[in-house]
Amino acid sequence: MFKRWKRYDPSWLVKASDDYFEEYPWLKGALEKCVKCKHKSDLYIYFTDAKNPNKNGSAWQFQESITIVGTPQGDIVIDVIRNNQIGGIEFLTKVLTT
């Protein structure tokens, strides 16, 4: 599935999410930390190891999803995991058109 972690520039994601910072004051800082990723496919990028999601000992403990519409990459869904960390993003527009 994944080969290795790669460097990632989250600046487009931070800018696209600007309208949500009032509702989620921690979001900007969390997105700025997304500087490495693993591509699952053209539809999903992970920023946190998703091994054994939602199980004891896993870093991936789902908290909520935030949908951002109209980004340069189309509509996206940000998966937030415990402690307001970003687990990954789904490129929703691509999913719906694939």
pLDDT at 2: 57
* 3 vs 51, residue with greater confidence: 51
**pLDDT tens profile 58-70:** 989 999 999 999 9
Which residues have C-beta within 8 Å of that of residue 84, sequence separation ≥ 6?
24, 26, 27, 30, 63
**pLDDT tens profile 8-65:** 999 999 999 999 999 999 999 999 999 999 988 889 999 998 889 999 989 899 999 9
Name the residue range of residue 13's domain. Answer: 6-97
- Residue 14 inside a domain? The answer is yes
Classify burial at 70, counting beta carbons within 10 Å of its beta carbon; exposed 0-12, middle 13-18, buried 19 or more: exposed
pLDDT at 75: 96
- Residue 1 inside a domain? The answer is no
- Residue 18 inside a domain? The answer is yes
Number of domains into which the chain is organized: 1
pTM of the model: 0.91
